[in-house]
Structure 1
Amino acid sequence: MPFDLTSFLPEGVSATVALMLMVVSFFTSMLTATFSLGGGMLMLAALALVFPPSIVVPVLGAVQLGSNAGRVALQFPHVQWRLVFWLGIGAAVGTVVGGQFVAMLPETIFAMAIGLFIIVTTWLPQPKLDLHGRKTLVVGGAVISALSMLVGAVGPLIAMFFRGLADRRQLVATQAAAMTLQNTFKVIVFIAIGFAFADFVPLVLAMILAGLGGTALGGMLLMRVPDRAFRIGFKIVVTIVGLDLLRGAIFG
């Protein structure tokens, strides 16, 4: 009896589609490892072409959990754990609260609000806020994690707390650690509310392994990109993400 790869895949997903998602995972992980974010939104868009909305967010959370954990492993010495700790406390609360409203509220409203917020905070002068203060990190982590349960990828919002870090390796590593923690909470909550992750485990693992390859390549590119180019690239990627959120909210 010939080997049937599709028996390991979710219903309706062909081997070709699975391979394409693995390729997307590789390149989005490379992008995120180089500029600290942007890959999550691209992965979200790719998954939305294959799965209905009720499946996209939990599967994206599982894939991002593995991809970001791999990024942390490669950049571990540069993680600013104090920032991750306080943001994580808020994330734990926000994820549980957001889980109560999954599929109850129109995500287009949140997508539009987040898109506008990302663009404004990227290009307008930054207000004098203590983004590294305990209260700010806890509250910010809670609000952003609650939104994450509805719209999936909120990496650009998490990134604003780390924008002041001078070392780009610290920015990428700390962002990855925060997203690992947030996505861990997200997966736990989706399991608690009954999402059947078992059907997607082989596909998720394959995408995570492909993403680790992209992370390794992006990690090598990170310090080869000039600092000015890195900062400009960071802003461009964030802006594209914000504009794509607005496009999706307006045009569907």
Structure 2
Amino acid sequence: MTEIILGLVTFFTSAIAAIVGLGGGMMLIAVLPSFLPLNAIIPVHGLTQMSSNVSRAVFGYKDIQYETIPKFLIGSLLGVGLFASIVSVISLEYVPLFIGIYILLSLWSKKFNNKIKKFENYYILGFFQSGLSVVVGATGPLTLTLLYKDYIDKNKVVATSAALMSISHLLKILVFIYFGFVFFDYIELITVMIIAAILGSYVGTKLRNKIDGKKFAIVLKVLLSILAFKLILGLFI
């Protein structure tokens, strides 16, 4: 029964992510604690999300802006290396608060954007998105805010975001393998969730092309804002 439920949830969240570019990972990680032990949540989520993002990137490979990948990869390697080495000795309690505030300011404050432009780049965002994903799971909105500003076309935003998030999840999986997590213990569940994630990506990609670009931009900003508020309020509620 767990496999069926999580398979359906994964399909739905993967389709949502393929349509609007985000939200699927956060929705899924919010559900997993009801079905998995704490030590398995982030690694299982990471492997499933890698499947979702890789498939989404493959289905939209023509729209990927490949110039972003080397910069993001370099930042990601440094970020994962640092966070994996210090995760046991630092407090990450307020990380969601800072992520949420950054997203809101980036989306709605022109003054903030004018000041942050000189610092905001794919090296830095790769460092934080991939590094923080080791401990907080879903960090996709971090890079999506910059992609949303750099590329107007919704297909470019979603496909490139999927490629970059694939890097984050792959590195995170390697970290958990290094620390001894045995993915094979959850092989049946993981197999079902991977298949569901790929199917969800396919369906979502097909539906995305039916959505108006201006409406997409509005939906994306609203969803990002909701997720940001959720991150901030989750710290206090």
> Please, what TM-score do these two structures have when normalized by structure 1?
0.86
1:11 match: none
- The match for 2:216 among 217, 224, 230 is 230
Is 2:186 aligned against 1:200? yes
Letter in 2 for 1:169: N
C-alpha contact (below 8 Å) 1:87/1:140 kept by paired residues: yes
1:250 match: 236
Take 1:36 and 1:103, find their aligned partners in 2: how far apart are those partners? 31
CA positional deviation for 1:51: 2.5
Letter in 1 for 2:143: I
Going from structure 1 to structure 2, the CA distance change for 1:124 and 1:130 (only over 3 Å counts) comes to closer
2:19 match: 34
1:210-252 deviations in whole A, cap 9, x for unaligned? 111111111111121111210111012112211222232212x
CA positional deviation for 1:112: 2.0
CA positional deviation for 1:48: 2.2
2:43 match: 58
1:240 match: 226
Gapped regions of structure 1 (runs ≥ 5): 1-15
Aligned length: 234
- List aligned pairs for 1:41-52, cutoff 5 A: 41-52=26-37
Take 1:85 and 1:205, find their aligned partners in 2: how far apart are those partners? 30
CA positional deviation for 1:130: 4.8
Going from structure 1 to structure 2, the CA distance change for 1:101 and 1:47 (only over 3 Å counts) comes to farther
Take 2:9 and 2:92, find their aligned partners in 1: how far apart are those partners? 24
1:152-210 deviations in whole A, cap 9, x for unaligned? 10010021221121211111110000011111111111111111212123212211111
Going from structure 1 to structure 2, the CA distance change for 1:31 and 1:238 (only over 3 Å counts) comes to same
1:42-70 deviations in whole A, cap 9, x for unaligned? 01101122234432111111111111111
C-alpha contact (below 8 Å) 1:149/1:186 kept by paired residues: yes
C-alpha contact (below 8 Å) 1:54/1:103 kept by paired residues: no
CA positional deviation for 1:103: 4.8
2:108 match: 123
C-alpha contact (below 8 Å) 1:111/1:249 kept by paired residues: yes
Letter in 2 for 1:118: I
Letter in 2 for 1:36: G
Question: What is the DSSP-based 3-state SS (H/G/I as helix, E as strand, rest coil) of the residue aligned with 1:162?
Answer: helix
Letter in 1 for 2:166: T
Larger radius of gyration: 1
C-alpha contact (below 8 Å) 1:99/1:190 kept by paired residues: no
Task: Say what the alpha-carbon RMSD is for the aligned residues.
Answer: 1.9
Q: Which moved more, 1:207-216 or 1:238-247?
A: 238-247
Is 2:169 aligned against 1:183? yes
Take 2:84 and 2:37, find their aligned partners in 1: how far apart are those partners? 18
